[in-house]
Amino acid sequence: MSGAKPSPAPTVFDWTPARPASSLEYVEGWGMAAGSHVRVLRPRSTEELAAAFALAKREGVTLGLRGTGNSYGDASLNERGWVLDTSRMNRILAWDPRTGVATLEPGVTIEKLWKSILADGWWPRVVSGTMFPTIAGAAAMNIHGKNNYAVGTIGDAIREFDVLTPAGEHLTCDRERNADLFHAAIGGFGMLGAFTRIVLETKKVHSGDVRVRAKSTRTLGEMMAYIEAHRGDADYLVGWVDCFARGRALGRGLIHHANYVHEGEDPDPRASLTVEHQELPANILGVFPKDQVWRALRLFNHDLGMRAINFAKYHAGWVEELDEPYLQSHAGFAFLLDYVPNWKWAYGRKPRELGLIQYQSFVPKETAEATYRELLERCQRAGLVPYLGVFKRHRPDPFWLTHAVDGWSFALDFKVEPVTRERLWKLCHELSEVVIAAGGRFYFAKDLVLRPEDARRAFPSDKVERFRALKLRHDPDGVLQTDLWRRVFAAPTR
């Protein structure tokens, strides 16, 4: 024993931890193909958030805002500074079950939101394919759901928000007050300030289920025609595409078309409007633990396996199509993959080396079909076929750097491996040329491949200039930065 009497006396009972809490962690994009070891600050209140800004300013360090890190690429990474994670500021500040308006701290997740409001007969108007994003992350990316064509993006459901700017101003923004900041910060990928409070409108529902029908489609054109024909009557429309199919079968797939259950149609809405009714069981067939499913999926995670799975899914669609429309819970329909824990690990999980990227482009309706056929053909020619393709219909919105267009989006999941990485990036750059020529746009929540010249051509230059001017005003020292910002908007040197 060292014999030394512990001196000075232990501090255990009058311990004051540093605020905000800070730790060194490996922070990566959801797709795992990018990440770095950085200091993460986790404020729990607006005061601690302000303290984090002050600290960064004092130390002359940049801050990258982050929610729960569900952006696929480098939108919430900051390898050359600190990460400011607002997911611990996660209280629901107010909820009005009569109007369906929720006032949320920035770190409230979509999961926490729906679980809190469902019993009152409400559902978030816009959700992503996963329920784990925070509301601030969702607002900063202006996320869309499978109903974008009908109800717009999440920005359209936001009534007002408070933002704390690096310049130190607390500003309340809506469509009238600070309207510029309102329309720029939604979809502004965390470059103008930190959301501290978001007032969100939700949707009245009369059942915990939606009515779903499947439609198998033999070509991309057929898929687009179906979706176009049902835009008026479907509440949700999403297409899955078998990216391995070539030639005459190019773009074959399966559409899921869902509608809300009307008032009075659900005999017992009190039972279906519960969290238990929404959630999927923890074990598949009652025995196989779901948290091990990714290991089984891993066995198929190569071209041959994924070709087979896509083939099987397409043909299963023929059968599913014959079924009567069926009821599925909101959560089951919207977030199915969330119930397979860590399914992305099927792609391999070696930091920075293995994982996936998603290449999602948004193309105006006039040029979309030809563009997407060409994207698929180019992928196949390059021998880099996406393991998953998802097709959606969108509509324009008033947010400055929005990805949404009056047209379509196609999201392609590519496996990343050291041997294919360089070729994959090159292919994506080629695809971007096609998309840009078609008048298309990109989505920062998914991006890891865009170059400054791509962004310059894809986004309206007047909006980008106004955005930069607004950033200069609210963040004169350039404190808010992410890897994405430096990669895509590499600011001209002064």
Ligand X SMILES: NC(=O)c1ccc[n+]([C@@H]2O[C@H](COP(=O)([O-])OP(=O)(O)OC[C@H]3O[C@@H](n4cnc5c(N)ncnc54)[C@H](OP(=O)(O)O)[C@@H]3O)[C@@H](O)[C@H]2O)c1
Ligand Y SMILES: Cc1cc2nc3c(=O)[nH]c(=O)nc-3n(C[C@H](O)[C@H](O)[C@H](O)COP(=O)(O)OP(=O)(O)OC[C@H]3O[C@@H](n4cnc5c(N)ncnc54)[C@H](O)[C@@H]3O)c2cc1C
Give the footprint of other proteins on this chain (CB under 8 A). Answer: 1-6, 8-13, 15-18, 21-28, 36-39, 56-57, 60-62, 79-82, 291, 342, 349, 351-352, 468, 471-472, 477-479, 481, 486, 491-492, 494
Residue 124's contacts (CB-CB under 8 Å, 6 or more residues apart) are: 110, 113, 114, 117, 157, 200, 202, 203
Q: Considering the complex, what minimum distance in angstroms separates the CB of residue 8 from ligand X?
A: 10
Q: Which is nearer to ligand X, 6 or 281 (CB)?
A: 6
Instruction: With beta carbons less than 8 A apart as the criterion, state whether 158 and 139 touch.
Output: yes
Q: Which is nearer to ligand Y, 142 or 432 (CB)?
A: 142
Strand bridging mode 441-442 / 355-364: antiparallel
Compute the distance between CA of residue 25 and CA of residue 63 in angstroms, rounded to an integer.
15
Residue with tokens 């014959």: 322
Residue with tokens 């030809």: 370
130 is a contact residue toward ligand Y (CB under 6 A): yes
Strand bridging mode 92-96 / 170-173: unpaired
Compute the distance between CA of residue 92 and CA of residue 197 in angstroms, rounded to an integer.
10
Q: Which of 434, 426, 442, 459 is nearest to 371 (CA)?
A: 434
Strand bridging mode 63-66 / 82-85: parallel
Largest CA distance in the chain: 82
2 is a contact residue toward ligand X (CB under 6 A): yes
- Residues 5-34 close enough to bind ligand X by CB under 6 A: 6
Q: Considering the complex, what minimum distance in angstroms separates the CB of residue 305 from other proteins?
A: 23
Judged by CB under 6 A, the residue of 195, 387, 391, 410 near ligand Y is 195
Q: Which is nearer to ligand Y, 130 or 219 (CB)?
A: 130
Cis peptide before 8 (omega within 30 of 0): yes
Stretch that binds ligand Y, among 32-40, 62-70, 216-224, 246-254 (CB under 6 A): 62-70
144 is a contact residue toward ligand Y (CB under 6 A): yes
Specify the length of the chain in residues: 494
Q: Considering the complex, what minimum distance in angstroms separates the CB of residue 108 from other proteins?
A: 22
Q: Considering the complex, what minimum distance in angstroms separates the CB of residue 360 from ligand Y?
A: 9
Q: How many residues bind ligand Y (CB under 6 A)?
A: 32
Stretch that binds ligand Y, among 123-131, 261-269, 374-382, 394-402 (CB under 6 A): 123-131
4 is a contact residue toward ligand X (CB under 6 A): yes
Residue with tokens 């960064």: 56
Residues that bind ligand X (CB under 6 A): 1-2, 4, 6
Residues that bind ligand Y (CB under 6 A): 30, 64-71, 75-76, 86, 106, 128-130, 133-134, 136-138, 140-141, 143-144, 189-190, 194-195, 337, 445, 482
